[in-house]
Amino acid sequence: MKKMIGAALVLAFGITSNAQKGWHSLFDGKTLKGWHKVAGAANYIIEDNAIVGVTVVNTPNTFLLTDKIYGDFILELDVKIEDKATNSGIQFRSNYDASAANGKGKVFGYQYELDPSPRAWTGGIYDEARRGWLYPLDLNDAARSAYRTGQYNKVRIECKGVVTQTFINGTPAAILVDTMNTSGYIALQVHSIGASKVGGQKIYWKNIRINTSDVKLSPVKNVYTVNNIPNNLSVPEKSQGWSLLFDGRSFNGWRSARGNSFPSKGWGIEDGALKVLPSDGAEATNGGDIVTSRQYAAFDLTFQFKLTPGANSGVKYYVTLKEQSQGSAIGPEYQILDDKLHPDAKLGKDGNRTMASLYDLIASKKDPRAFKAIGQWNTGRILARKNGQVTYFLNGIPLVEFVRGSEDFRKLVAGSKYKDWSQFGEATRGHILLQDHGNEVSFRSIKIRDLSK
């Protein structure tokens, strides 16, 4: 009889074995006990066992903050946004400065994005009032269709150590490895709206529960990881088959594009970064280009780079070294350039020699979210699939896409500086190359995942 009653409770109230593994509610369904409002003047009320945030015109972002601070946890809740225009978020491991903004207070830290707009970045990770986007959901296009407009959506956030994983309706959305905060507040955000808008839009949160004693990260496959620890492979990356191409200490795995040993000059290692040392600004006249010892077919390559003012460099791939060319070796290139100060940005056609372009072939989109100032670390990514499709990302934003060997690609090659090279960019495999263009450029966190299997 007792077993039958227990089974009935499971069916009626959704009680699972998780109840015996450290889960507890952060919201009693009736009051805001355990929470307090900060920073703005939006309203939080309770309707139908849900916390409801209501937008107010001309007030800053408003947050309903937990009274407690949390470190490692799994957070689950259901969220509904009434319309497609209202943006919101869930803060986690965040800070609060009551003295900021002339005493109005400021919340800053990690945010799970709630985005019902056509951009569809729900589940992405934003760094509120600090660094901006850490994980734009363009990095995981498969998760962008998981959000259900006008319905309750199941949110899950897993934080353990320096790793955060997010999910929307059971679909893995983002994986972030970051050391800036390992504990902080949880908060429900009502985003600010300007005078041109009408207030009263609603965001609903219910079934808010947390587990702090049995925290285990879910195994996730085929989701790109943003790892902000230099030259590090996280547990998620290792499990997905990533490997480091630069260990931060040695030139292991690299050699000159002109011989079997590493260049005796022109390159150095400083503070965990592989550096092109400045010379005369010419192409491959000092230490020269370097290439990986291994060759790769289909792959996912990510790398961080930092430019000095006026600098020029690039990352090439499918480099066979068969051409015996003068200057830099031949292969498709991810352009790395100071667009404002280097003259190459004004050459080529329609900006196809600017930052993150497929050099001399396709200009990158000029999405302002993607570009960081000279002297800051940027993250580049080249995703080269088995079907020939290649995508360039800069700081998580896709800027170039093409198919190697396609009719469109060959037409572009025919009108470029590469027109005299037979089947340019169509090799089945090749080396990864870092270019020496005579300017000081630094690289780190160079890692690759083999997609050819």
Task: Place 20 in a pLDDT band, splitting at 50, 70 and 90.
Answer: low
* Each residue's pLDDT tens digit, 334-382: 999 999 999 999 999 999 999 999 999 999 999 999 999 999 999 999 9
* Each residue's pLDDT tens digit, 395-413: 999 999 999 999 999 999 9
* Each residue's pLDDT tens digit, 88-107: 999 999 999 999 999 989 99
CA distance to 264, 266, 304, 431, per residue, from 284 (Å): 13, 10, 21, 17
**Cα distance between the two ends of the chain:** 54
Beta bridge partners of 306: 442
394 close to 378: Cβ distance less than 8 angstroms: yes
* Each residue's pLDDT tens digit, 186-196: 999 999 877 66
Task: Place 17 in a pLDDT band, splitting at 50, 70 and 90.
Answer: very low
Could you state, in order of their start, the residue ranges of all structural domains in the chain? 18-211, 241-450
CA distance to 168, 169, 237, per residue, from 215 (Å): 18, 19, 19
Strand, coil or helix: what is 384? strand
| pLDDT at residue 423 in the model | 94
CA distance 96 to 184: 9
452 close to 296: Cβ distance less than 8 angstroms: yes
Give the residue, 171 or 323, on which the prediction is more confident: 171
Amino acid at 287: G
Question: pTM of this prediction?
Answer: 0.91
CATH code for the structural domain at 18-211:
2.60.120.560
Task: Place 273 in a pLDDT band, splitting at 50, 70 and 90.
Answer: very high
Q: 282 Cβ partners below 8 Å, 6+ apart? A: 437, 438
CA distance 434 to 334: 10
CB count in 10 Å sphere of residue 379 = 18
Average per-residue pLDDT in the chain? 92
Query: What percent of the chain stands above pLDDT 70?
Result: 94
| pLDDT at residue 195 in the model | 61
| pLDDT at residue 215 in the model | 94
Dihedral sign from CA coordinates of 254, 260, 262, 265: negative
Q: List the single range of 50-59, 193-202, 212-221 with lowest mean pLDDT.
A: 193-202
Amino acid at 57: V
Residue 110 has pLDDT above 60, yes or no: yes
Residue 5 has pLDDT above 50, yes or no: no
Q: Fold for domain 241-450?
A: Jelly Rolls (2.60.120)
| pLDDT at residue 326 in the model | 74
Upper half-sphere CA count for residue 65 (Cβ side, 13 Å): 24
Task: Place 280 in a pLDDT band, splitting at 50, 70 and 90.
Answer: confident
Q: Could you check whether 18-211 and 241-450 share the same CATH topology?
A: yes
Give the residue, 375 or 281, on which the prediction is more confident: 375
Phi, psi angle pair for 163, to nearest 5°: -105, 135
Angle at 280 between CA 293 and CA 432, to 5 degrees: 20
Residue 48 has pLDDT above 80, yes or no: yes
Task: Place 263 in a pLDDT band, splitting at 50, 70 and 90.
Answer: very high
Strand, coil or helix: what is 19? helix
CA distance 20 to 10: 13
Amino acid at 15: I
| pLDDT at residue 85 in the model | 84
Mean pLDDT value of segment 220-248: 96
